[in-house]
Amino acid sequence: MVRRMSPESRERPQRTAPAEPLVAVFVVIFTVVDDDLKVLLIRRGIDPFKGQWAIPGGRLRQQETLDKAAARKLVEETGVQDVYLEQLYTFSELDPQARGGAVAIAYFALVDYDSVRLPEREEWSTCWFSLKGLPSLAFANESVLDYALSRLRNKMEYTNVAYSLLPRYFTMSQLQKVYESILDKGVDKRNFRKRMLALGLVQPTERKAATGAHRPAQIYTFSSRTPTVI
């Protein structure tokens, strides 16, 4: 038997499956260069916001965990791994144009500038920018950077995360300059040294560094190069 459709059923609009939200992972990558805190940005090669700078990121791949996606993106843009990398926050309003909505999971990483090798490519080029002189950013990324900087400054007060911004061996002056660059304020040299040693964050080595006409400076190393809460 052939079932005939009623006029009402012919006019009824067909249902379409709702669009799935876009899930992206991106990484705020900080470093310190010449006593200045900088962030790595990427120039977008496609719309939306083609030609504008943004935080490096991309879509989450199938069967890929968030942590693995963030680590992959970090290696793709800097060539480094085994550095400080932490999930920062989940944002849901960075791309209002996305059909079905968008969820962006942000991470932040700290890297030693001398260890980084930026990819050489004409499109989707990358560049370090001072936090004091940022260009106009895509996807409301300014709010993400503000959140990441606040988190980083808080971390400096009760963890050893600065290890990821320095080589294995360094002077106390180099360590102090990293702190001052991030906190954006000077700290007392004597009190800083006393606090670092009292907290057990760093320990002296048998090495010395020549500093011109001055007495050779003591070389230090971090007691642990894994994330540690004081």
Q: Cα dist. 70→39, 51, 65, 104 in Å?
A: 16, 23, 9, 12
Low-confidence residues of the chain: pLDDT under 50: 1-2, 9, 17
Q: Return the domain boundaries, the chain.
A: 22-157, 159-222
Dist CA 191 CA 176 (whole Å): 11
Q: Cα dist. 94→50, 69, 98, 163, 188 in Å?
A: 16, 19, 9, 31, 40
pLDDT value of position 2: 47
- Give the residue carrying structure tokens 């990558």: 29
CATH class for the region spanning 22-157:
alpha beta
Q: What's the pTM?
A: 0.88
CATH class for the region spanning 159-222:
mainly alpha
Residues 6 or more apart from 118 whose CB is under 8 A from it?
Answer: 40, 77, 78, 79, 126, 127
